[in-house]
A and B are shown apart, each in its own frame.
Chain A
Amino acid sequence: MSIIELRNIRKSFGAVEVIHDVSFAVEKGEVVCIIGPSGSGKSTLLRCINGLETYQGGEIAVHGERVSTGSSSIRQVRTRVAMVFQRFNLFPHRTALENVAEGPIFVKKEPREEVLARSRDLLTRVGLGAKIDAYPAQLSGGQQQRVAIARALGMKPDAILFDEPTSALDPELVGEVLAVMRSLADEGMTMVVVTHEMGFAREVADRVLFLDGGILVEQGPPGELLSRPKNPRTQDFLRRILPS
């Protein structure tokens, strides 16, 4: 069974449909990168998977369980599919350690000491063992995003969704975040990554999806889609963003 499955998803804001009949599935351990121009619906698609947005048509299932914002199971689904945001969205009134431990302690009701120990390990793993007591305001953007990744991992998710995790970062801080994501991929974490980092997509992704105007235009292994795109819209997009 696929970890994440989207069948014929349609999503509208008011009268405007922004996702048109999108279907794809993500298997366990797979890294899927979603690329596409700004406004093409990449964030909206991720947010539908996580139940942060409702959708009007089709069906999304996580581990076979239907995602719908109205149902009570949505909170269950959200604890299994974590999300990393472009703007980090750390809790500013809590330390790095508290940010990571918040969900496991208060949502999943796991034993406090055990969670704190695990959270320290996770922060060490993303290279922030020395910053566990720092507040978000005391951390650089790259450090904050790594805390956010540790927070996602703290939930022991089946998959992590990344929405342009490096887009809000100064260029010199992008590498440290991508390195952490790369190591997660190496360890077999299932990931869906919306990104403009074509180097990352090429080297880490198992599959790349190109989204344009709310339509899933083309998908394939990075070697194919990024080097020999079949669709003219994909070719056009890649020509514009890749240095020739």
Chain B
Amino acid sequence: MAHFLSQVPTFLPILMQGVYLTVLVTLGAFVLATALGLVWAFMRVSGIAPLAWTARTIIVIVRGIPGIVTLFYIYFVLPDLGLSLSAVQAAIIGLGIAYSPYMAEVFRAGIEAIDRGQTEAALSIGMGWGLLMRRVILPQAIRVALPPYGSTMVMLLKDSSLASTITVAELSLQGKLLASSTFENTTIFTLVALLYLAMSLPLTAFNSWLERRMRQAR
């Protein structure tokens, strides 16, 4: 334990560079996955058959491909097609796309959990699709979708380590590089695990706090 503590000041600053990239990739991919997921979800509940069908097909395809392959595709194949991205950009886009089907399902489940009577009441006072979504469905759907949305973010945080496979020196890769040059495996990987926990636990706590607040607001 004393050995561990004595080494923390040496290794922590190096690992923090990895933390920075982990946070960057996670947040970037989270924003992108949320935006894409909302688009897929709205297409699916639009009631317009070609849109619903397109979204369903995209979801099936993206979900059927491992995230790591999506990352490879974007980082290694797109340059051949004339589109070169930095490793961090590729990681954000790849993870954002790979996670968008989960987001879409979270949002769709939330929207579809709302009683049909709500839609009918909204239509019967003359609301169109936009007002119906904004004033009636989404405020209620958010309460349903929030818990799975939060856990998806925690999953994404952990899966951001996939970015290491396309050379992004995020926390897990930074730890591995550091360990292979110092042989302090125990200390370094314990630190890496603790740093991941330090990021995911507050997220989980924030999520349950939000959930409680949403429940009280009813």
Q: Which residues on A are within 8 Å of B, measured CB to CB?
A: 50-52, 75-76, 78-79, 82-83, 85, 87, 89-93, 102-103, 106-108, 135, 137, 151, 155
Contacts and interface: CB of A to CB of B under 8 A. Distances in A.
B128 A92 contact: no
A108 B126 contact: yes
A78 B124 CA distance: 5
A106 B135 contact: yes
B127 A93 contact: no
Contact of A83 (B115, B124, B139, B140): B124
B57 to A, nearest CB: 26
B120 A89 contact: yes
A75 B126 contact: yes
B211 to A, nearest CB: 15
B125 A78 contact: yes
A92 B121 contact: no
A83 B139 CA distance: 23
Nearest to A155: B125
A92 B122 CA distance: 12
Q: Is the interface of B mostly helix, strand, loop or mixed?
A: helix
Interface string B108-136: 00000001011011111111100100011
B123 A52 contact: yes
A92 B131 CA distance: 16
A93 B218 contact: yes
A107 B126 CA distance: 6
The interface centre, meaning the residue of A87, A102, A137 with most chain B CB atoms within 10 A of its CB, is A102
Given A52-B120, A102-B125, A135-B218, 11 more contacts: A51-B123, A78-B123, A82-B125, A85-B124, A89-B118, A93-B139, A103-B126, A106-B127, A106-B131, A107-B127, A137-B218
A90 B121 contact: yes
Contacts of B120: 52, 83, 85, 89
